[in-house]
């Protein structure tokens, strides 16, 4: 017979009450049984039709195993949108080549970015949205006109639709009532990290019972233009907490609680278990891909294998692009095309004895650039060739018990041992030296630290900011 904690009982009693309808949010701390409670809700309600969805495809694929043998349909919202929109053209992202006007890559990037941001927004009016988006641009009217023009082209099937276009189109169909989407139960997982349009679709789908799962303190994907459903839906939903972790030891959980109460929230509650996860797995957890590359170089020096959660080409992409651009070569990754412009600026305005790497540090403020450039400077001092390292890394032995990953890709996973990379500690230390949390970006750094530490079952190493 299953045993439930008092907090789990509260959730199941409320959801199982035939008189209660509407949205229920479960604020589930790291390792507190979010998936378990979702499965028990399905067992209690036994829906004839149900939808389990999330922004992340990998999470939905895990849902197929979790809800096997039930009537829960596990789909990303993109897949659900595809089902209703039924596009006849191939799905592809809008790219620079789609925009035929003779304008710079930088302007094309801004237009593409505005279109993608509109698609994942809650807005239903692209004209108002683009007018506001480009309000402070030097040529606001032209940019807004081009952005709406290419949305119209996609709608008119003159260019291929993107997956995010399908999501927005589905959203508008629900708003206008041209389609009906009904279930007995809808579960939106990771509702703390989802898109604004996903929340609108979640609200518009017809279902007497709706369940949102996640936790505000694990909302770490702001750079993907994601939003926190707890913040946006809190006023219209019933919220239940889950605070007992079935992953972290009591000692680790206590340290995390002290850390979060000190700087983030004085009512943060996180309770560990006397039976923490012991799976023999180790995670090296970082903030950036550059630190993954650094950890790989150390592992190769030890002649040992490792496991990655993303393609190695993606992990090495930015430092390789920086080195390529430093010699004036073309940068092939669209995401890093701006480096070609930066190299031209460097050549035109370069100060005496200033290196290209120093130019990037002086002119690009983002953390990804700083860590990638500092990595390359470290490699220069130690005579390590980034291209040779990349080749060796691709040929390295795979050790599935030793994972090197960022906090963003390791979220949701659990390990017996977690070793924090120094960039996680240094970011916290920097915030503390500047007087504590000053803005939302600082808060997200603390959330990343919490997520990283709470991957650990038994051993948490190099977590100096946690106990200092």
Q: Interior CA angle at 403 toward 401 and 405, to 5°?
A: 165
Give the Cα separation of 163 and 172 in Å (integer): 15
Distances from the Cα of 423 to the Cα of 287, 322, 371, 419, 462, angstroms: 6, 20, 9, 12, 11
What's the CATH fold of domain 6-85+170-242?
Answer: Rossmann fold (3.40.50)
Residue with tokens 């709608």: 155
Strands (E), 158-255: 185-188, 209-214, 238-242, 244-249
Give the Cα separation of 445 and 336 in Å (integer): 24
Give the Cα separation of 258 and 255 in Å (integer): 5
Q: What is the pLDDT of residue 432?
A: 97
Q: What is the pLDDT of residue 165?
A: 97
Q: Provide DSSP, 33-88.
A: -HHHHHHHHHHHH--SSEEEE-SSHHHHHHHHHHTTTSSEEE--HHHHHHHHH---
Using a pLDDT cut of 90, give the percent of the chain over it. Answer: 88
For every one of its 468 residues, what pLDDT tens digit does the chain have, with 9 covering 90 and above? Answer: 678 999 999 999 999 999 999 999 999 999 999 999 999 999 999 999 999 999 888 889 999 999 999 999 999 999 999 999 999 999 999 988 889 999 987 899 899 999 999 999 999 999 999 999 999 999 999 999 999 999 999 999 999 999 999 999 999 999 999 999 999 999 999 999 999 999 999 999 999 999 999 999 999 998 888 999 999 998 999 999 999 999 999 999 999 999 999 999 999 999 999 999 999 999 999 999 999 999 999 999 999 999 999 999 999 999 999 999 999 998 888 788 889 989 998 998 877 778 999 999 998 888 889 999 999 999 999 999 999 999 999 999 999 999 999 999 999 899 999 999 999 999 999 999 999 999 999 999 999 999 999 999 999 999 999 977
Q: What is the pLDDT of residue 56?
A: 81
Q: What is the pLDDT of residue 2?
A: 79
Which of 408, 410, 41, 26 minimizes the C-alpha distance to 189? 26
For residue range 71-112, list pLDDT tens digits in order: 999 999 999 999 999 999 999 999 888 899 999 878 998 999
For residue range 127-166, list pLDDT tens digits in order: 999 999 999 999 999 999 999 999 999 999 999 999 999 9
Q: Which residues pair with 405 in a beta bridge?
A: 285
| DSSP class of 218 | G
Q: What is the pLDDT of residue 97?
A: 84
Structural element, H or E, at residue 203 = helix 196-204
Structural element, H or E, at residue 450 = helix 440-453
Q: What is the pLDDT of residue 152?
A: 97
Q: What is the pLDDT of residue 224?
A: 80
- Tokens at residue 450, please? 């919490």
Q: Are 25 and 242 in contact (CB under 8 A)?
A: no
Domain ranges of the chain: 6-85+170-242, 96-159, 282-413
Give the Cα separation of 164 and 146 in Å (integer): 18
Neighbour-count burial for 240-258, b at 16+ CB within 10 Å, e otherwise: bbbbbbbbbbeebbebbbe
Neighbour-count burial for 269-306, b at 16+ CB within 10 Å, e otherwise: ebebbeebbeeebbbbbbbbbbbbbbbbbebbeeeeeb
Q: What is the pLDDT of residue 43?
A: 96
**pTM of this prediction?**
0.90
Give the Cα separation of 443 and 218 in Å (integer): 11
């Amino acid at each position: 017979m299953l045993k439930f904690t008092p907090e789990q009982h509260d959730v199941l009693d409320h959801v199982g009450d035939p008189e209660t309808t509407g949205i229920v949010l479960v604020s589930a701390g790291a390792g507190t049984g979010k998936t378990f409670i979702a499965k028990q809700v399905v067992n209690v309600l036994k829906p004839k039709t149900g939808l389990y969805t999330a922004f992340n495809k990998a999470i939905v694929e895990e849902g197929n195993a979790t809800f096997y043998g039930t009537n829960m349909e596990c789909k990303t919202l993109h897949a659900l949108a595809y089902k209703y929109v039924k596009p006849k053209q191939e799905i592809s992202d809008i790219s620079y080549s789609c925009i035929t006007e003779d304008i710079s890559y930088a302007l094309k990037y801004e237009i593409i970015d505005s279109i993608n941001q509109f698609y994942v927004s809650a807005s239903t009016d692209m004209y108002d949205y683009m007018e506001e988006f480009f309000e402070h641009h030097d040529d606001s009217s032209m940019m807004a006109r081009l952005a709406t023009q290419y949305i119209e082209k996609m709608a008119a099937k003159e260019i291929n639709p993107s997956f995010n276009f399908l999501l927005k189109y589905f959203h508008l169909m629900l708003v206008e009532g041209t389609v009906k989407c009904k279930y007995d139960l809808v579960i939106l997982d990771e509702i703390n990290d989802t898109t604004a349009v996903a929340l609108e679709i979640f609200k518009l789908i017809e279902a007497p019972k709706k369940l949102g799962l996640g936790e505000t303190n694990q909302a770490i994907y702001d750079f993907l233009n994601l939003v926190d459903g707890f913040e946006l839906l809190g006023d219209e939903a019933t919220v239940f907490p889950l605070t007992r972790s079935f992953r972290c030891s009591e000692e680790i959980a206590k340290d995390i609680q002290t850390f979060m109460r000190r700087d983030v929230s004085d009512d943060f509650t996180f309770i560990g278990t006397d039976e923490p996860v012991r799976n023999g797995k180790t995670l090296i957890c970082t903030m950036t891909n550059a630190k993954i590359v650094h950890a790989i170089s150390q592992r190769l020096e030890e002649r040992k294998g490792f496991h990655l959660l993303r393609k190695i080409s993606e992990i090495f992409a930015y430092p390789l692009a920086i080195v390529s651009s430093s010699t004036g070569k073309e940068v092939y990754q669209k995401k890093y095309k701006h480096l070609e412009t930066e190299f031209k600026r460097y050549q035109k305005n370069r100060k005496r004895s200033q290196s290209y790497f120093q130019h990037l540090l002086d002119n690009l403020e983002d953390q990804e650039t700083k860590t990638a450039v500092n990595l390359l400077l470290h490699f220069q001092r130690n005579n390590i060739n980034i291209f040779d390292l990349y080749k060796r890394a691709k040929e390295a032995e795979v050790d599935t018990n030793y994972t090197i990953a960022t906090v963003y890709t390791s979220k949701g996973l659990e390990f017996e041992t977690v070793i924090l990379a120094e960039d996680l500690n240094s970011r916290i230390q920097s915030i503390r030296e500047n007087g504590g949390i000053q803005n939302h970006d600082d808060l997200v750094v603390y959330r990343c630290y919490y997520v990283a530490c709470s991957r650990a079952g038994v051993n948490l190493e190099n977590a100096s900011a946690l106990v200092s």
